[in-house]
């Protein structure tokens, strides 16, 4: 019998790769006879960060194989700074012949049932078409984000202005009113290349054979309803949507360090008292902002676990590049580490976030609103303070605060700076006030809902079995 394979094609950032691999693991749980091949593209920003994770999965799950695509390096011209997303899209477009080659090689020994692509990898639809392989999207953000992205081509038609020039709320089916200034940065200016590219993939997704979403129905019911009623893709049938989440890496995604010092430190702290501050794989702050955060955190008098990276460089072309380990005494206010040592721990660069969030000591999470971090917090029942930094995180803040009600907002000044009194105020609000209590209770309800969604008869396995019908259709033909 020919081996049946699904090929997964994530975009390079670690959060995207991990959730794609987790999708593979979930599929294998219900369909153990399949095999999975993951196409890996080297990250242009932080090469190598995914290697320990890939290594761990390869060693433990024999049905998941990783196929490394040869590295494409683009010459970067510092005099012409480009959006980091544009660079990523360029690489993923240039990957196409390599993806085609990989699929041809795989199909010599297996029957490829489907190609599952990250939304950023939309260019590969052409390859799937060439080879007659069914292609589906895996959308690594929430259902509300999906509603918004699928509605982008319609929004584009309603105005000739760029979002950056619109001082008003946008009316998008299934989501709360959003300020145009909250739209993802790469969509702000319609004269830019990146706007065109994103508009292109949102339109491709709307015409696809299906979209798998890493979320669950009861977390975002309004957006799901708008999608299934066809309101977000008004002029064509909406593709089937499969909400199979929350998918969460079982353990530290990158470093695999279950013995990290912060875990035993957390075990020695009282339940529900520690605020985690962690900002994803690419969240960087200026030196001034780091100092201001430290002052606010100290004034809040709360216990904390803070993951600190080296400050961001002013060079925008290198903004997302991996940084050296921070020298904490030189970047934090003088004496801060000493004054807070009895109630705070600062960890350099990276902490095993999933394990951290599952510790009973954790009572709150100041997050950059990356979707994986959000799901990890929701599953653990940890309420958040939403401090968005990049990508679609500003819209996530609106969804988390106004729709899901699992977070309080961190409010920045017009230039994006957050002062120490705001940090102090929000952290205290989360940990000490009735408003914080309401958010905590709602997050706990959502944590229960997440467990129910994943249970045997829950909405997520049901969505997965519907999805599997797509490739089962072809099963008998290969016997």
| Shortest spacing between CB 282 and ligand UDP, in angstroms | 5
Phi, psi of 269 (to 5 degrees): -100, 150
| Shortest spacing between CB 103 and ligand UDP, in angstroms | 26
Cα end-to-end span (Å), the chain = 6
User: 96 vs 358, which CB is nearer to ligand UDP?
Assistant: 358
User: 110 vs 254, which CB is nearer to ligand UDP?
Assistant: 254
Phi, psi of 12 (to 5 degrees): -65, -30
**Type and span of the H or E element at 5:** strand 3-9
User: 10 vs 13, which CB is nearer to ligand UDP?
Assistant: 13
Task: Report how far Cα 252 is from the mean position of its chain's Cα atoms.
Answer: 15
User: 35 vs 373, which CB is nearer to ligand UDP?
Assistant: 373
**Contact residue for ligand UDP among 153, 253, 344, 364 (CB under 6 A):** 253
| Shortest spacing between CB 206 and ligand UDP, in angstroms | 23
Interface segment toward ligand UDP; rule CB under 6 A; list 46-54, 171-179, 260-268, 280-288: 280-288
**Type and span of the H or E element at 278:** strand 274-278
CA torsion sign for 316, 318, 320, 323 is negative
Q: 135 by DSSP, 3-state: which? A: strand
Q: In what order do the strands lie in the sheet with 211-213?
A: 64-68, 35-40, 3-9, 110-118, 135-139, 211-213, 241-243
Distance CA(466)–CA(455), nearest Å, equals 16
Measured N-to-C along each axis, helices 434-454 and 459-472 cross at an angle, to the nearest 10 degrees, of 40
**Contact residue for ligand UDP among 307, 308, 332, 404 (CB under 6 A):** 307
- Residue 12 in contact with ligand UDP, rule: CB under 6 A: no
Phi, psi of 57 (to 5 degrees): -65, -45
Size of the site for ligand UDP (CB under 6 A): 22
x/- track of binding to ligand UDP for residues 206-245 (CB under 6 A) = ----------------------------------------
Interface segment toward ligand UDP; rule CB under 6 A; list 12-20, 100-108, 193-201, 433-441: 12-20
**Contact residue for ligand UDP among 142, 280, 296, 383 (CB under 6 A):** 280
User: 54 vs 133, which CB is nearer to ligand UDP?
Assistant: 54
- Residue 186 in contact with ligand UDP, rule: CB under 6 A: no
Minimal CB distance residue for ligand UDP: 370
- Residue 354 in contact with ligand UDP, rule: CB under 6 A: yes
Tokens at 420, concatenated: 């120490």
- Residue 252 in contact with ligand UDP, rule: CB under 6 A: yes
Distance CA(103)–CA(81), nearest Å, equals 34
**Contact residue for ligand UDP among 13, 44, 142, 206 (CB under 6 A):** 13
**Contact residue for ligand UDP among 282, 400, 410, 467 (CB under 6 A):** 282
Residue 405 backbone zone (phi > 0: left; psi -120 to 50: alpha; other: beta): left
User: 153 vs 352, which CB is nearer to ligand UDP?
Assistant: 352
* Contact in structure between 233 and 150 (CB atoms under 8 Å): yes
Interface segment toward ligand UDP; rule CB under 6 A; list 56-64, 188-196, 366-374, 433-441: 366-374
- Residue 350 in contact with ligand UDP, rule: CB under 6 A: yes
- Residue 278 in contact with ligand UDP, rule: CB under 6 A: yes
x/- track of binding to ligand UDP for residues 369-398 (CB under 6 A) = -xxxx--x----------------------
| Shortest spacing between CB 475 and ligand UDP, in angstroms | 33
- Beta strand pairing call for 211-213 and 241-243: parallel
Q: Give ∠ CA 432-435-441 in degrees, rounded to 5.
A: 95
User: 351 vs 423, which CB is nearer to ligand UDP?
Assistant: 351
Residues listed for the chain: 479
Residue of 8, 428, 471 whose CA lies nearest to 214: 8
* Contact in structure between 27 and 7 (CB atoms under 8 Å): no
The residues that touch ligand UDP, with contacts defined as CB under 6 A, are 13-15, 18, 249, 252-253, 278, 280-282, 307, 350-354, 370-373, 376
């Amino acid at each position: 019998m020919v081996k049946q394979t699904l090929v997964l094609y994530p975009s390079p950032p670690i959060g995207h790769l991990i959730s794609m691999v987790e999708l593979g693991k979930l599929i294998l749980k219900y369909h153990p006879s399949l095999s999975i091949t993951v196409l890996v593209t080297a990250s242009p920003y932080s090469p190598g960060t995914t290697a320990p994770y890939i290594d761990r999965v390869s060693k433990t799950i024999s049905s998941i194989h990783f196929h490394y695509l040869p590295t494409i390096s683009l010459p970067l011209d510092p005099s012409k700074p480009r959006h980091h997303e544009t660079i990523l899209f360029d690489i993923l477009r240039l990957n196409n012949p390599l993806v085609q080659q990989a699929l041809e090689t795989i199909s010599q020994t297996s029957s490829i049932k489907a190609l599952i692509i990250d939304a950023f990898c939309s260019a590969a639809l052409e390859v799937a078409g060439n080879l007659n392989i069914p292609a589906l999207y895996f959308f690594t953000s929430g259902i509300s984000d999906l509603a918004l992205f699928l509605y982008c081509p319609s929004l584009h038609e309603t105005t000739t202005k760029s979002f950056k020039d619109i001082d008003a709320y946008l009316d998008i089916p299934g989501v709360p009113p959003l300020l145009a200034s909250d739209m993802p940065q790469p969509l702000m200016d319609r004269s830019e290349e990146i706007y065109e590219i994103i508009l292109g993939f949102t339109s491709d997704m709307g015409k696809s054979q299906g979209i798998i979403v890493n979320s669950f129905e009861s977390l975002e019911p309004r957006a799901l309803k708008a999608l299934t009623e066809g309101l977000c893709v008004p002029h064509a049938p909406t593709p089937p949507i499969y909400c199979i989440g929350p998918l969460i890496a079982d353990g530290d995604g990158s470093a695999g360090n279950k013995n990290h010092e912060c875990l035993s430190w957390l075990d020695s702290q009282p339940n529900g008292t520690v605020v985690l501050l962690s900002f994803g794989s690419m969240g960087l702050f200026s030196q001034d902002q780091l100092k201001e955060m430290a002052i606010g955190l100290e004034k809040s008098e709360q216990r904390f676990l803070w993951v600190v990276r080296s400050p961001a460089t002013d060079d925008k072309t290198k903004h997302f590049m991996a940084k050296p380990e921070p020298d904490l005494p030189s970047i934090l206010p003088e004496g801060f580490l000493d004054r807070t040592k009895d109630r705070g721990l600062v960890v350099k660069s990276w902490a095993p976030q999933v394990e951290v969030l599952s510790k009973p000591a954790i009572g709150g999470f100041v997050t950059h609103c990356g979707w994986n971090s959000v799901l990890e917090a929701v599953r653990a029942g940890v309420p958040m303070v939403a401090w968005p930094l990049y990508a679609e995180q500003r819209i996530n803040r609106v969804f988390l605060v106004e729709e899901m009600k699992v977070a309080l907002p961190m409010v920045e000044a017009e230039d994006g700076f957050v002062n120490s009194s705001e940090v102090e105020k929000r952290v205290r609000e989360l940990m000490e006030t009735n408003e914080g209590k309401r958010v905590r209770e709602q997050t706990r309800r959502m944590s229960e809902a997440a467990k129910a969604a994943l249970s045997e008869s829950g909405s997520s396995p049901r969505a997965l079995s519907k999805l599997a019908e797509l490739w089962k259709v072809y099963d008998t033909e290969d016997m």
